[in-house]
Amino acid sequence: MEVTTMSPSPASPTEGDDLCETDVTDVALDSVTLLISLCGLVGNGAVLCLLQRNPTTFYIINLAFANFIFVYFMVPSCLLYLKEELSCSTILPLDFLKALFPLLLFSYNLGLYLLTAISINRCTSILCPLWYRCRRPQRLSWAVCALLWALSIAVIVTVTSLCHSQEHERCQASLTSMYALNLFLFAPAMLISSTILFIKAKFRSQQQQHKRLNTVNFLLVPSFLLFALPLSLCNFLQQLGYTVVSSQVVFLLHCIHSSINPIILFLAGRCWRPCSLRSLQLSLQRIFEQEEDNTAHSNDAALDTATPAC
């Protein structure tokens, strides 16, 4: 496993008595990444603490947790890289870099898989409303999230084991396959389902009852495509021998995406009250309140044999 391929920032400053120079660009990028990561910690932490746990919010909670993991590990990474760059000394051991990248990549993949599941879930609610409201298994979201967690762990364990085997070709093949899976399976599925959702929701007035929840999806998906997908794209091209931008830039972009997600949630359910923990909690609840009401109504109707709603 090559450190230049696996680390979230460029290699440490060149060692030497007369060659040590502080790269202002690297310092600026790491400083901005650090600040955005700290904001992401606060935002995603707030979502995890304030959002109530139930089947309708389970995907979002898992997504917030994946984003939280990513920015959590980016904070010490940026601090250590900044110390290296400013002191012109090697601080980060190779073992730390080898352990750090799989953790960051695990949270990245998990976020992608969950966001794809969210898009497909919302698309299904419009294409098959009867099944979604009345026939969908109550614990389907729990099962899907468990499968996505298992898939993320399996992918990272496989890639890490192959790259630690000291066989460069196997490592490169595993990394290329993982990035190709992200680019050519999950990203298109997310985009297609979100596009269908947008078209259906726009031309069907009855879907206005889910306006906030659909708005969240419409904003989260472009955010991922603009800020997070470049990480997979650039690393995929790097495995093929093409260097587009530095790893610092793509990790900075994903930190922006991870930090924007909580803002999208709070704004989508905005409650025009003085800013407080209670108002933030109400903002989150308003996004899912209609969905919860519809689910509860459908379950009650299903139990009533005299009611033909389901």
Give the model confidence (pLDDT) of 148-157 as tens digits: 999 999 999 9
Choose the weakest-confidence range: 102-111, 233-242, 268-277.
268-277
Is the pLDDT at 281 greater than 90, yes or no?
A: no
- The structure tokens 């919302």 sit at 122
pLDDT of 3: 38
Give the model confidence (pLDDT) of 11-21 as tens digits: 444 444 445 67
Is the pLDDT at 242 greater than 50, yes or no?
A: yes
Q: What does pLDDT average to over the chain?
A: 83
Out of 26-30, 150-154, 160-164, 297-301, give the one with best mean pLDDT: 150-154
CA distance 73 to 104: 7
Chain centroid, CA 243 distance in Å: 24
Domains and CATH numbers, the chain: 23-294 (1.20.1070.10)
Task: State the DSSP code for 52.
Answer: P
Q: How many helices (H) and strands (E) does the chain have?
A: 12, 0
Indicate the pTM of the whole model: 0.85
Nearest to 134 by CA among 306, 291, 310: 310
148 close to 182: Cβ distance less than 8 angstroms: no
State residue 226 phi and psi, 5-degree precision.
-80, -40
* Over residues 165-190, mean pLDDT: 92
Give the model confidence (pLDDT) of 17-38 as tens digits: 445 677 888 899 999 999 999 9
* Over residues 248-263, mean pLDDT: 95
CA distance 126 to 164: 45
Is the pLDDT at 241 greater than 70, yes or no?
A: yes
CA distance 221 to 187: 9
The three-class DSSP label of residue 95 is helix
